[in-house]
Amino acid sequence: MKTQNTPISSREMRALEVNAEYFGLDLLQLMELAGRNVVQEVIARFPKGKSVAIVCGLGGNGGDGFVAARHLLSAGFEVEVFLVGKARDISHPAALKNYDVLRSLQGMVPVVEVLDSAAVPAIQADVVIDALLGTGTKGKLRAPISQVVDAINATKGFKIAVDVPTGIDSDTGEVLGTAVKADLTVTFHRLKLGLAKAKRHTGDVVVGDIGLPQEMERFAGPGDVSLVVKPRSPTGHKGDYGRLLIIGGSNIYSGAPTLVSLAAMRTGVDLVYLATPAKNAYEITSISPDLITVKLEGDNLNPANLETLKPFIENVDVVAMGPGLGLAPETQEFVKACIDEVEAAGKALVLDADGLKAFAKFKRALKVPLVLTPHSGEYAILTGKALPENQDERVAAVQATAKKLNATILVKGKVDIVCDPKRAKLNFTGNPGMTVGGTGDVLCGIVAGLLALYADPFEAAVAGAFVNGAAGDAVASEIGYHMVATDIIDWIPKMLESPIDHLKVKKPGH
C-alpha cells in the first residue's frame, strides 16, 4: 500500500481526483479539507488577531485559498485576499462556489483583484499564503503572476505554499523562471514528485489528509481513461497516431480477429493491419472496408507465414496476437517464432486467447513491453495454478506472475485485475451480459489500440478494462443483457471521450 511519503505525479493526482469524483467524493469536499489543512498549520503557529494575506489564482489552488480565508476569519484572524485575475474568469466550479461564499460575507474578507503587472500591490501581513497555481503548472510564469511571486518573496511574513510553491514544476522540481520561497508547504494526499528536488523553495513540507482513501488508488475509473487519451494535432498525418498489426484467425474462427480490429479502430489508432488466413481475409474485407487485411497462405497460421509478416512487424508500433488462432501444432510453432521476431524488432506485444495458450508452453520474460489478457482459465494455463478465491490473494498472485514475466497482466473477470511488476488496479465495470462470445476480443482490441497510441502498457490495460466494461454497462442499460460484442464496439468512442456522462458508478462490492 502506498503511503503519504510515496511521491505521486501531477497527472496521477489529477486522474485520482477524477476517479474520486466518479466514486462519489465531491470536489467541494476535497477542497474544503485542503483549505482546512492549511488553516490548521496557521493556527498551530500563530495566535488569533495576526494578519493573513492569501494570494489566490483562478483555479482549484485558488479555491483552497478561498476556503482557508473563510476558516481563518472564523478563527479570529485578520484576512485579506488578493485575486490574480478577474473573479468572473474563475474557471474551477468548486473554486467559484467557495469564492461566492466568501463574497457573501459582505466585505468581512476584502478581495483585491490584481489585473496587470503595473498594479501588483505590496503584500504586508504576518502570514502570506500562496494559493496561486497548483500541481499542473508547466512553462515559465507569465505576467502578472511572475510579479506577484516577486511580491510574495519580498514580504517579511511567514510564507505558506498550498500544495506546491507557485513557480515550481511539481514533477521535476524545476524553477519556472521564478518561484515562491516558502517557509512551509502544505501538500495534499501524498508528496509530489518534485518537492524533494525543490527544498530551497518548499521550506518544511506537511502532507495533509483530504479524505482520499489510499485504497481508492487501486480502483480503475474515468481518470485512468484521461491518462491515455491523446490530443490530436490539426497538422497530424496518417500514422502519427499509431500503427497496429493484429494476427489471428484460423480455418474455424474469423470473427475473433475481426472484433479485435474493429475495436482497435474505435480507440483512434490510425492504421490497423489484420493478418489472417486468406480465406478469412476476403470475408473480413466484405464486412468492413476500414480494415487492411494481410492475406496469409494456409488454413491455419504456420511458420512459413512469417516471411510475409516481417515487413508489417517492422512497420507497426504494436503487435496483438491470439484471437481465433486455434491450437494446431504448426500454429503454436508460428506463435513462438513470431514472438521472437516481434522481440527482435523491438515492438510491444499483446497476447490473448490462443496466443496466450501457445506462449504458456515456453513462457519467458521478453525484452519488449508485453501485455497479457487472460481470463481466469487462461491464467491457470499460463501459470499452472488456479487463482485463489480471496481478492487480495488473487492480486498478489497476478502481480507475482507479472514480476516473473516482466509483463502487464489483465485478468478478466467479475472484477478485472491489472498488474505490472510494481502497480495493481481493480476494475469494477462490466456485467453478466458480457459473458457473450467476443467481448474479450473487444477488450484485446481496445488495449492494443491504446498501446499503439503510445500509452504506458499498464495504463493502457487499466483504461482498456474500464472502457470495455463501461461500454458493456451502457449497452445493458439500453437493451439489457441481450447484447453482442459489436454492440460494445459502438460505445467505445463515447467511453473514451466522456465516460462520466454515459454511465452510473459501478462501485466495489456491487
79-91 pLDDT per residue, tens: 999 999 999 999 8
Q: Cite the residue boundaries of each domain of the chain with CATH code 3.40.1190.20.
A: 242-501
Look at the block and give the residue holding cell 511521491. 7
The three three-digit cell numbers of residue 113, written as one number: 483583484
How much of the chain exceeds pLDDT 70, in percent? 97
Does 504 score more than 70 pLDDT? no
**Cβ neighbours for 281, distance < 8 A, ≥ 6 positions apart:** 274, 293, 294, 295, 296
Mean pLDDT of the chain: 94
Q: Which of 289, 334, 272 is nearest to 308 (CA)?
A: 334
Confidence of residue 501 (pLDDT cuts 50, 70, 90): low
Q: Cite the residue boundaries of each domain of the chain with CATH code 3.40.50.10260.
A: 10-218
Answer yes or no: are the C-beta atoms of 510 and 428 closer than 8 Å.
yes
For residue range 21-74, what is the model confidence (pLDDT) as tens digits? Answer: 999 898 999 999 999 999 999 999 999 999 999 999 999 999 999 999 999 999
Mean pLDDT of 227-244: 87
Q: How far apart (Å, rounded) are the C-alpha atoms in residues 212 and 234?
A: 38
3-state secondary structure of 442: helix
The three three-digit cell numbers of residue 241, written as one number: 497516431
The full length of the chain comes to: 510
| Per-residue pLDDT, 245 | 98
Q: How far apart (Å, rounded) are the C-alpha atoms in residues 264 and 236?
A: 19
Q: How far apart (Å, rounded) are the C-alpha atoms in residues 364 and 149?
A: 54
Fold entry, domain 10-218: Rossmann fold (3.40.50)
| Per-residue pLDDT, 508 | 63
Q: Which of 263, 491, 451, 472 is nearest to 368 (CA)?
A: 451
Phi and psi, residue 32, nearest 5° = -60, -45
Cis peptide before 93 (omega within 30 of 0): no
| Parallel/antiparallel/unpaired status of strands 318-321 and 292-296 | unpaired
Look at the block and give the residue holding cell 517492422. 314
Angle between helices 439-452 and 457-479 (to 10 degrees): 140
Confidence of residue 232 (pLDDT cuts 50, 70, 90): confident
The three three-digit cell numbers of residue 313, written as one number: 512487424
| Parallel/antiparallel/unpaired status of strands 424-427 and 204-208 | unpaired
H or E element at residue 410: strand 408-411
Q: Is the dihedral of CA 209, 132, 156, 113 positive or negative?
A: negative
Q: Is the dihedral of CA 336, 340, 342, 346 positive or negative?
A: positive
The three three-digit cell numbers of residue 193, written as one number: 514528485
Secondary-structure class of domain 242-501 per CATH: alpha beta
User: What distance, in Å, lies between the first and last C-alpha atoms of the chain?
Assistant: 23
| Per-residue pLDDT, 238 | 80
Q: How far apart (Å, rounded) are the C-alpha atoms in residues 145 and 182?
A: 16
Confidence of residue 389 (pLDDT cuts 50, 70, 90): very high
H or E element at residue 286: helix 278-287
Answer yes or no: are the C-beta atoms of 449 and 478 closer than 8 Å.
no
The three three-digit cell numbers of residue 169, written as one number: 514544476
Return the minimum-mean-pLDDT range out of 108-112, 398-402, 413-417: 108-112
Angle between helices 27-45 and 60-74 (to 10 degrees): 50
Of 340 and 115, the structure prediction assigns the larger pLDDT to 340
Q: How far apart (Å, rounded) are the C-alpha atoms in residues 412 and 430?
A: 10
Does 470 score more than 90 pLDDT? yes
Rg (CA), the chain: 27
